[in-house]
Amino acid sequence: MRDPDALTDQLETDFKQFVADYVKGQMDQLGADEQTVVAVRDVSALYGFGRLSDLLISSAANLRGRMLIFFPGEFSKNQYRLLNARDGWSYLARPITT
């Protein structure tokens, strides 16, 4: 790529919109309603390209049921870390620990 900054710009705008549109399309295709639980897995694929929090914010307006995210990270001292990255994932989260 001749202009590496262009990739960053695309990730900040185009990629975020692509992911949000994809999730919305999947929910629409499945006919999700107020009684639906939308389970999202493999969110670690976003690591390095975007933030899960951005996906949640953009998807919240289209979600009619509940969203369950299988979070590949750590839960320690009431903080969540995706792949040992930043903390602060506590919003309405409940851990399922073994």
SS3 64: coil
C-alpha–C-alpha distance, residues 3 and 8, integer Å: 10
pLDDT single digits (tens) 47-66: 777 777 888 888 778 778 88
37-40/66-69 β-pairing: parallel
C-alpha–C-alpha distance, residues 86 and 79, integer Å: 10
94 DSSP 8-state letter: -
The reported pTM is 0.62
> In percent, how much of the chain has pLDDT > 70?
65
